[in-house]
Structure 1
Amino acid sequence: MKTVIAIRHLAFEDLGTFESVLLERGYVIHYLDAALDDLSDSGIAAADLLVVLGGPIGAFDEALYPFIKDELALIQQRLDTGRPLLGICLGAQLIARALGAGVASIGVKEIGFAPLMLTPEGEASPLAQLGSVPVLHWHGDRFEIPVNAARLAGTQICANQAFMLGTQVLALQCHLEANPAQIERWLLGHACELAQAGIDPRSLRSDAHARLSDLPQAASAVLQCWLDLAESLAIQT
């Protein structure tokens, strides 16, 4: 039985559409809450797949939220194992930090649905499965690309949207996992952030409704493709 451990920072920022893919592939899913659960257990880093999800804090905010140090230590331990590791938004930024890359504010909020602009490396990566389908962006920070990692995608607002380190590490700034059918949870949970950014939730709601079919299918295809690569190498090693 394969196990995936997902580190969660907010209840509604979960595995989303990725969850059904993982269940179909025979994974048993366990969620851990970063702020509450003990992340020092050695069994976490030994899971078949580790996913570090998004959240509303900064990857450099450990002075305010000390558990970030535990997350960084866990990610470093996971990187040392060479096992599959997926990071989304905050999770991707934490992976970048653990790999020695910078993370900082981009000075604006990138919130809404927009397609990724793939690099040549991105066109040859699992992200090619997206085609031109817009994905959900919801962040105000960005990561630099770590040494030896391949930059896969960007947007006009944020040049670095994804990277891979080998085939075992995939980091996504965008929320490819977000289920557009559950956008109301995001609109409610981040209502203050939307108001501060001057973003009308009705516009996001309408854009999410337009993505009910194509985005989950494209996101699932990306995850399937990456897992095929990551699992294949895991079996060989």
Structure 2
Amino acid sequence: MKSVLAIRHVAFEDLDAFDPILRERGYTIRYLEAGYDDLTAIDPLADDLLVVLGGPIGVYETVAYPFLRDELRLLAIRLQADRPTLGICLGCQLMAQALGGRVYAGGQKEIGWKPLQIHEAGRNSPLAAFADGIPVLHWHGDTFDLPGGTTLLASSNQYLHQAFLWRKRGLALQFHIETSARNLERWFIGHAGEIAATPTMSVLHLRQETARYAPKAQVRGQSCLTAWLEQVDLLP
């Protein structure tokens, strides 16, 4: 039986709609809680798949959150070994820095449902599922320089670097395609302060857009995951 290790930074940002896809294919899933569980005690190469999830902190905040250094070391080892690794939002930014890129505040929040610009390389990747302009969920204020040796897959109107591929088995997504409408209600509570502090954004607006876009995006996201698992030889 194949194993998935998911590193979680806040309880409500989990595998969500990816969970049933993985379990249906026979994966066992376990979570480690960043900042609580000891990330140095695990073998970076042991699990078949590592997923590093999102969170409301910056990769560069290692003084306030020392465990970020442990995540970066774990990712550096795993990525250099080309073991299947998926980074989402903060996880994407951690992958970028672990590969030598710089992560920094982007100057403006990108929160809400917006389409992606899928580049040619992205059209030949599992992200082709979003090439027709269906909106995905963005929720970040940081950005990153593209690490050397990676391939840019997608951009948005606000940020050039939204997704990249490392070698064959490292996929980094700054946006969210793992979410479901139901679970996002937990985000609206957990991120209430950030929503209130973001001009032109409100819970009501996000809920309306989620009802409109999330069902189709969830199906596409699950298809994207399945295609990527096949690409990295992780389907049974």
Question: Which whole-Å CA distance do the structure 2 matches of 1:49 and 1:186 have between them?
Answer: 25
Question: Which whole-Å CA distance do the structure 1 matches of 2:12 and 2:213 have between them?
Answer: 19
Consecutive unaligned residues in structure 2, runs of 5 or more: none
Within a 5 Å distance, the mapping from 1:67-216 to structure 2 comes to 67-130=67-130, 131-198=132-199, 199-216=201-218
Question: Which whole-Å CA distance do the structure 1 matches of 2:98 and 2:221 have between them?
Answer: 26
Question: Which whole-Å CA distance do the structure 2 matches of 1:61 and 1:16 have between them?
Answer: 26
In structure 1, what is the equivalent of residue 13 of structure 2?
13
In structure 1, what is the equivalent of residue 233 of structure 2?
231
Overall identity of the aligned pairs, in %? 46
The change in CA–CA distance for 1:41 and 1:80 in structure 2 (over 3 A counts) is farther
Normalised TM-score (structure 1):
0.95
Letter in 2 for 1:149: T
1:108-165 CA-to-partner distances (Å, cap 9, x unmatched) read 1000001110111111111001232211000000122111111000101111100001
1:212 offset after TM fit, Å?
4.0
Question: Which whole-Å CA distance do the structure 2 matches of 1:32 and 1:42 have between them?
Answer: 10
Question: Which whole-Å CA distance do the structure 1 matches of 2:152 and 2:170 have between them?
Answer: 12
Calculate the aligned-residue CA RMSD, in Å. Answer: 1.5
1:208-237 CA-to-partner distances (Å, cap 9, x unmatched) read 1112421111000111111101126x99xx
1:175 offset after TM fit, Å?
1.1
SS in 2 for 1:107: strand
Letter in 1 for 2:81: T
Letter in 1 for 2:145: E
SS in 1 for 2:168: coil
1:42-67 CA-to-partner distances (Å, cap 9, x unmatched) read 43431000000000000111011101
1:81-133 CA-to-partner distances (Å, cap 9, x unmatched) read 32100000111100100100111111010000011101111111110012322
Letter in 2 for 1:112: G
1:166 offset after TM fit, Å?
2.0
Letter in 2 for 1:18: F
Contact 2:116 2:156 in 1 (8 A): yes
Contact 2:119 2:152 in 1 (8 A): yes
1:37 paired with 2:34, answer no
Contact 1:46 1:78 in 2 (8 A): no
Counterpart of 1:221 (choices 192, 215, 223) is: 223
1:20-72 CA-to-partner distances (Å, cap 9, x unmatched) read 11111211000000110011124343100000000000011101110101111
SS in 2 for 1:184: helix
In structure 2, what is the equivalent of residue 26 of structure 1?
26
1:180 offset after TM fit, Å?
1.9
Normalised TM-score (structure 2):
0.95
SS in 1 for 2:43: helix
Letter in 1 for 2:158: I
Consecutive unaligned residues in structure 1, runs of 5 or more: none
1:182 offset after TM fit, Å?
1.8
